[in-house]
Chain A
Amino acid sequence: MRHIISILMENEAGALSRVAGLFSARGYNIESLTVAPTEDTSLSRMTLVTRGNEEIIEQITKQLNKLIDVVKLIDLADISHVERELMLVKVKTTLNNREEIKRLADIFRGKIIDVTNNSYMIEMTGSSEKLDAFVESLNDENIIETVRSGPTSMSRGEHGLHL
């Protein structure tokens, strides 16, 4: 099963490599990983997507908790949460398809953030499935490049992951 693990950790050099190293050393897989400092710059928040059965996920969270740099973590799969991913897509445009691509981006609530005479850059956020669907709706030949942040996520309601 897919799990989103949200980790609050010391914003220190090497902290990221400790997490990545743990996953490779113990043979766990990482589907995606995104990390940046929080409003308190001494802390970083990492969102990590992984897959595994109950036992593996239990070990992953225990082993992560054991890392000295990890302050707190939460497995969001256990609770109601909201998930968003950011994607940038650059597509080739011609006189014929410019309008259609713009309409498609609008339908998916994307924004065109850069335009040249033969390309668009489209920014889109949403669930990973929505981003997948948009990419699928584009003609493969038109896609120049895509970049995705990997999901970030928060639990719903008044509680949160903080000190």
Chain B
Amino acid sequence: MELSGGEIVIQCLKDEGVEYLFGYPGGAVLHLYDAIFHQDDVKHILVRHEQAATHAADAYARATGKAGVVLVTSGPGATNAVTGIATAYMDSIPMVVISGQVPTAVIGSDAFQEVDMIGITRPCVKHNFLVKDISDIAETMKKAFYVATTGRPGPVVVDIPKDITDPNIKIPYHYPDSISMRSYNPSVQGHTGQIKKAVELLLTAKRPVIYSGGGVVIGEASKELTELTRYLNFPITNTLMGLGAYPATDKQFVGMLGMHGTYEANLSMHQSDVILAIGVRFDDRVTGKLAEFCPNAQIIHIDIDPASISKTVKVDIPIVGDVKPVLLQMLALIKQQHKPDTEPLARWWAQINQWRTSKCLEFDRSSTEIKPQRVVEQLYEITKGDAYITSDVGQHQMYASQFYHFDKPRRWINSGGLGTMGFGLPAAIGVKLAFPDADVACITGEASIQMCIQELATALQYNTPIKIINLNNGYMGMVRQWQEFNYESRYSQSYMDTLPDFVKLAESYGHVGIRVERPEDVMPALEKAFAMKDRTVFLDIITDRTENVYPMIETGKGHQEMTLRVAPGTPIDRELA
């Protein structure tokens, strides 16, 4: 089979089993788009801005575990994709981004729509390739998927100059079945001796806690994590990226940890003597002040990326390896041993249950204004906790993480590391394409949603009926909250004086818009929205503009210094904020 460079790229995608290609055409990729025109196997999703293509592909990957694929043109097409590439990089999401480049003959001459995509993306990709010869395309594409999806996954950019895709130059096509690279060996088995040591330490723990993160979701080790946790009867906390890896409704789950984590999760960490850290990276939003992080704990850390180990927090027993097989080995070893004395663990649970009584997430339920937390609770009720939830970034993201109890992995789709506003809507489209029969809701705010609002058109074109839950408090809520706490309420530029009429906006894009202003109207509106199975519904919910996210570890403080909405010991219905 003789194919042109453009046809080869598309054929590689077919052979890789790619279902959707998220993209936007332009001069440098016109040969590729012509190849797309001549086939139906790889479905192209035309977004309205390249950033959205990357977020949609990224979310598709987060929900399915398969690589998301993006096609953009050179220059501005490529730079618009950078935010989405960096988003995927920070959260270790497998993605292959094909960018057009100016013809090889003019590279370096400041040609029209030329940008050094390899140079620009170098710090935010797992790897990137510039294809300089048509005969390298197939192997490079294979390498791109291999690198993106193995080891600690991440985005890979393949930059292809226009002349390489010339329809008049054809060569025989062969897509390699497998590939190996001498400089890249992603499969790592955990060191048996280290695993043994870890097990010994775990069985002597008096105040243990399991701290697990996105690595468990990516490593498909949710089942193993759950089995291990239940067998040991240890308390478990998840990071923002790890939510759903352990069922949130389980009694051993103490909630998310970190800046807006629960009181019980953070205090369990602070007072623990042994921490089993799994697929986490001790991010600053998790650890708080490093000098005061878990002062009495010995730490076991399992991660596939050696560079994640002892990067910010020195650990005692590092285990470099794929989470799933390591957990399986641990389980097997633990089951051979006698169960430890249950007495200390019972005391530890009593302490944790006492912390739980602070009800740190509680809010004013009698308010006449709509509380954003209550909206998320109601969304949870109506979707029976089984929806895919995407979010943007800010207060609404934290409410979603605190009040939507994820029992399954890959259901919570958010930009955790980079914190990219504008992520939620295109992400919801990507998820809905992957799971057309599932409920998909985007929890957002009036500031975030405007960063990729144009994707409402994409949602209509490809019939991806999603529900947009716009928690509209008129402010960039998280910015406003920090300004209230740290800048004596000087709300510098965190308020938008002019907001669009979101109902009319949704309608003009061909969707349904509903405005909700009273607490009692929230549930009926949600019911109506979810009853419209085949329509995208934009719920513009006017929430309490003064509401803050609690509890909170303020910057520079440790886990033990949480700010609670209500001081311990006072009635929880008293609003301090």
Residues of A within 8 A of B (CB): 9-10, 13-14, 17-18, 21, 25, 55, 58-59, 62-63, 65-66, 68-71, 163
CA distance A57 to B5 in the complex (A): 43
Q: Are B306 and A62 in contact (CB-based, < 8 A)? A: yes
B122 at the binding interface (Cβ < 8 Å): yes
Task: Write the chain B residue with the least CB distance to A15.
Answer: B183
Nearest-Cβ distance from residue A10 to partner chain B, whole angstroms: 6
Contact yes or no, B118 A14, CB < 8 A = yes
**Is there contact, CB below 8 Å, between A25 and B307?**
no
* CB pair B122 A55 closer than 8 Å: no
Task: Tell me the complex Cα distance, A21–B120, Å.
Answer: 11
Q: What are 20 of the A-B contact pairs (CB < 8 Å)?
A: A9-B183, A10-B183, A17-B119, A17-B122, A21-B122, A25-B123, A58-B310, A59-B307, A62-B306, A62-B307, A63-B307, A66-B305, A66-B306, A66-B307, A68-B126, A68-B127, A68-B181, A69-B183, A71-B182, A71-B183
Residues of B within 8 A of A9 (CB): 183
**Residue in chain A with minimal CB distance to B125:** A68
Q: Within 8 Å CB of B314, what residues of A?
A: 55
Against A, the Cβ 8 Å flags (1 = close, 0 = not) of B324-355 are 00000000000000000000000000000000
User: Is B311 positioned at the interface, with any CB of A under 8 Å from its CB?
Assistant: yes
Q: Most B CB atoms within 10 A — which of A62, A63, A71?
A: A62
Q: Is B160 an interface position by the 8 A CB rule?
A: no
Q: Do A21 and B311 touch across chains, with their CB atoms under 8 A apart?
A: no
Q: How far is the CB of B284 from chain A (nearest CB, A)?
A: 15
A18 touches B307 (CB 8 A): no
B514 at the interface (CB under 8 A from A): no
Where chain B touches its partner, the secondary structure class is mixed
Which of B119, B123, B314 has most A Cβ within 10 Å? B123
Q: Is B37 an interface residue (CB 8 A)?
A: no
Residue of A13, A58, A71 near B130 (CB, 8 A) is A13
Looking at chain A's contact residues, is the secondary structure mostly helix, strand, loop, or mixed? helix
Say yes or no: is B147 at the interface (Cβ < 8 Å to chain A).
Answer: yes
- Additional A-B contacts beyond A9-B183, A55-B314 (4; CB < 8 A): A10-B183, A17-B119, A21-B122, A71-B183
Residues of A within 8 A of B183 (CB): 9-10, 68-71
Residues on A with C-beta less than 8 A from B305 are 66
Interface residues of B (CB under 8 A from A): 118-119, 122-123, 126-127, 130, 147, 181-184, 305-307, 310-311, 314
Q: How far is the CB of B273 from chain A (nearest CB, A)?
A: 24
* Known contacts A68-B147, A68-B181; is-contact A14 B307 (Cβ 8 Å): no
A66 CB contacts on chain B under 8 angstroms: 305-307
Distance, CA A10 to CA B147, complexed state (A): 16
Given A14-B118, A14-B130, A18-B122, check contact A65 B306 (CB 8 Å).
yes
Residues from chain B with Cβ under 8 Å of A13 in the complex: 130
| Shortest CB distance A87–B (Å) | 32
Q: How many Å lie between the Cα of A62 and that of B123 in the bound state?
A: 16
CA distance A17 to B306 in the complex (A): 22
A111 to B119, CA, bound (A): 42
Q: Which residue of A lies closest to B123 (CB)?
A: A25
Output the residue of B126, B184, B305 with the most chain A CB within 10 A: B184
In the complex with contacts A10-B183, A71-B183, A21-B147 CB distance below 8 A: no
A163 to B181, CA, bound (A): 12
B127 / chain A contacts, CB cutoff of 8 Å: 68
Measured CB to CB, the nearest residue on chain B to A69 is: B183
Determine how close the nearest CB of chain A comes to the CB of B128; give it in whole angstroms.
8
Residue of chain A at shortest CB distance from B143: A68
| Of B123, B126, B181, the contact of A21 (CB 8 Å cutoff) | B123
Q: Are A163 and B182 in contact (CB under 8 A)?
A: yes
Complex Cα distance, B425 from A73, in Å, reads 44
Give Cα A163 to B310, complex, Å. Answer: 28
Q: Could you say which residues of chain A place their CB within 8 Å of the CB of B119?
A: 17
Q: Which residue of A lies closest to B307 (CB)?
A: A62
Select from chain A the residue with minimum beta-carbon distance to B122: A21
A65 CB contacts on chain B under 8 angstroms: 306-307
Q: Which A residues touch B147, using CB under 8 A?
A: 68
In this complex, what residue of B is CB-closest to A62?
Answer: B307
CB distance from A124 to the nearest CB of B (A): 35
* Distance, CA A14 to CA B305, complexed state (A): 23
On chain A, the residues within 8 Å of B130 by CB distance are 13-14
| 8 tightest Cβ-Cβ pairs between the two chains A and B | A62-B307, A68-B127, A71-B183, A25-B123, A62-B306, A68-B184, A21-B122, A63-B307
**Nearest CB to that of B320 among chain A residues?**
A62
CA A69 to CA B305, docked complex, whole Å: 16
Give the shortest distance, in Å, between B139 (CB) and chain A (any CB): 14
Select B310's contact among A55, A63, A68, A71, beta carbons within 8 Å. A55
Q: Which residues of A contact B122 (CB under 8 A)?
A: 14, 17-18, 21
Name the A residues within 8 Å of B181 (CB-CB): 68
Q: Are B311 and A59 in contact, with the CB atoms below 8 A? A: yes
Query: Once the chains are docked, how many angstroms separate the CA of A17 from the CA of B120?
Result: 11
Which residue on B lies nearest to A13, using beta carbons? B130
Cα-based distance from A66 to B125 in the complex (angstroms): 12
| Complex: A54 Cα to B437 Cα, angstroms | 53
Please, how many angstroms separate the alpha-carbon atoms of A144 and B184 in the complex? 46
For residue A70, give the distance in angstroms from its CB to the closest CB of chain B.
6
Chain A residues whose CB sits within 8 angstroms of the CB of B307 once the complex forms: 59, 62-63, 65-66
Roughly how many angstroms separate A103 CA and B12 CA in the complex, as a whole number?
Answer: 68
Q: What CA separation (Å) do A9 and B184 show in the bound complex?
A: 11
Looking at A18, A65, A66, the one whose CB has the most chain B CB atoms below 10 A away is: A66
For the complex, what is the distance from the CA of A18 to the CA of B118, rounded to whole Å?
10
Nearest chain A residue, comparing its CB with the CB of B305: A66
In the bound complex, CA of A144 to CA of B232 (Å): 73
Query: Which residues of B have CB within 8 Å of A70?
Result: 183
Looking at the assembled complex, report how far the CB atom of A118 sits from the nearest CB atom of chain B, in whole angstroms: 41
Complex Cα gap A17–B118 (Å): 10
Residue on B with the closest CB to A10? Answer: B183
Closest Cβ of chain A: how far from B32's Cβ, in Å? 23
Closest to A68 in B: B127
Give chain A residues whose Cβ lies under 8 Å from the Cβ of B118. 14
A70–B314 Cα gap in the complex (Å)?
25
Of B182, B305, B307, B311, chain A has the most CB atoms within 10 Å of the CB of B307
Q: Which residues from B are CB-within-8-Å of A68?
A: 126-127, 147, 181, 183-184
Closest Cβ neighbor of B308 among chain A residues: A62
CA distance A159 to B202 in the complex (A): 40
Q: Which residues of A contact B311 (CB under 8 A)?
A: 59
- Least Cβ–Cβ distance between A150 and chain B, in angstroms: 23
Bound together, the chains give a CA A62 to CA B130 distance in angstroms of 25
Chain B residues with CB under 8 Å of A55's CB are 310, 314
In the assembled complex, how far is the CB of residue A16 from the closest CB belonging to chain B, in whole angstroms? Answer: 11
Closest CB in chain B relative to A149 CB, distance in Å: 25
